[in-house]
Amino acid sequence: MEREVRVRFAPSPTGPLHIGGVRTALYNYLLARKLGGKMLLRIEDTDQNRFVPGAEDYIRQSLEWCGITLDESPWTETPGPHAPYRQSERKPMYLQYAQQLLDSGHAYYAFDTPEELDAMRARLTAAKVPNPQYNSITRAQMRNSLTLPEDEVKQLLDNNTPYVIRLKVPRKEEIRFNDLIRGWVVVHSSSVDDKVLMKSDGMPTYHLANIVDDHLMEITHVIRGEEWLPSAPLHVLLYRYFGWESTMPQFAHLPLLLKPDGTGKLSKRDGDRLGFPVFPLEWHGKDAETGEPTVSSGYRESGYLPEAFINFLAFLGWNPGTQQELFTMDELIETFTIERVSKSPARFDQNKVRWYNEQYLRAKPDSELAQYLLDALKTQGVDVPAAKAEQIAALVKERATFPADLAKEAQLFFHRPTSYDEQVISKKWNAQVAGALAEFAQQLPAAADTTADGIKALLTQVLERQGIKIGQVLQALRVAVTGAAAGPDLMAIMSILGAEETAQRLETAISNLAAHASA
């Protein structure tokens, strides 16, 4: 019988969730939903020394904001069938699996002190060994249950001498597995060290807990970052030694996310240096060296829409094989295949995520954009009817990248200009233009049609009588009404402002610029 697809996202609560982690969660989610499977979240908190308060809740909020829903997690209302979903709460069960490996001869006790381990590495470094490690060769010179007499090992254990349990990696063996993205991966066991499976504090390491939990939670696909690729051979060995090879999940190791210049892995420091977020939500933490409070920017607080953020992330390493770039979450689910994920690193492009935000923002209904505008104006003490806010939002949205830009672009409707673009005034403002605009201002309040088309028709009539071409006047008219040389459609601006307000602004400009007109 075909197994139900079950994927998992397994973050550690050691700080904010990097966008690379969000991408990993997203690809897991897309695959599960595409194949009608389940999406699990497991908190991997075996390293208690790195635990950061608030990090788990940050992960939960981030996934909720992104629209990545979970079928089983520590936070679901009813416990899932494989609860608990925090490894720290599963601690008692791991020892039996470590014991199983000890009993089968695939693991051993190691009693080496930190000083002895340092001395071993120093010896290997002095011998010019490129990658000093505890492995099938060096373990023969160390203090472990493979080199010590059985009675001495028993005595050390009885005396509660600190120890770790290490995996016994074979010396000469090829380890192979078929990665869904990279194809067949073959690694010689001589390059794999005897990783610690259980630490001296009784907590399992990532390697043991990860394999045991994935097996018990019936995970069918492990989609994770490229940084875990070197650990995959070790995990394959663990599945083999436990006798679980027939149900071992399929592996897929995602490409790295690179800095914008492509020179290395994207980090928080890159975001700080170049002025863009690398976290989905704002993170309040502490400086590692000084302990001083720090704030790292987030995409949500920076004005990015979750659907734009997700669409952008999906394309960092995957493509649909078509020219289509804009995808809803449902469309991503329908289109996504793991086979179209590239093994090549994906370069981060901040301009592209801004582009996505523009597309999604401008595609929103004008009524929704108006609400963004009304909320912002309310904080400024500006009260405006909803219908007018919708008109303004519709007009200025093509100049907006973020919701906050709507209010910035809308300021011209609520504040008369206090200065005028000098370059336009010096070139375009003269007595003839001022005279034509004065007549236009005089006739505006009595105009029967104050739509954009009606205002343009009235302006054309005035200019024809004055013998002036519209191109000679438009820039000066815009500056007189808004103070700026560029902006949204001028006729629409004047229609929204209304005939009276537009006329008053023109009269004020004519008065203020009288000296230019006579020059």
Active-site residue identified among 268, 343, 364, 388: 268
Q: Is the alpha carbon torsion for 270, 272, 274, 278 positive or negative? A: positive
Q: How many CB atoms lie within 10 A of CB 387?
A: 10
Q: What is the 3-state secondary structure (H, E, C) of 474-485?
A: HHHHHHHHHCCC
Q: Which residues pair with 223 in a beta bridge?
A: 252
Say whether 109 sits in a helix, a strand or coil: strand
Q: Identify the three-state secondary structure at position 346.
A: strand
**Main-chain phi, psi angles of 152, to 5 degrees:** -70, -40
Q: Which long-range contacts (CB under 8 A, 24 or more apart) does 308-313 make?
A: 308/353, 308/356, 308/357, 308/359, 308/360, 308/361, 309/66, 309/280, 309/353, 309/356, 309/357, 310/26, 310/66, 310/67, 311/356, 311/360, 312/352, 312/353, 312/356, 313/19, 313/22, 313/23, 313/26
C-alpha span between 120 and 330 (Å, rounded):
54
* Contact predicate 7/38, CB 8 Å: yes
Between helices 386-396 and 403-410, what is the axis angle to 10°? Answer: 100
- Residue 378 among the catalytic residues: no
Amino acid found at 359: Q
What are the backbone angles phi and psi of residue 187, rounded to the nearest 5°? -130, 135
| DSSP reduced 3-state for 115 | helix
Distance CA 497, CA 484 (A): 16
The residues that are catalytic are 268
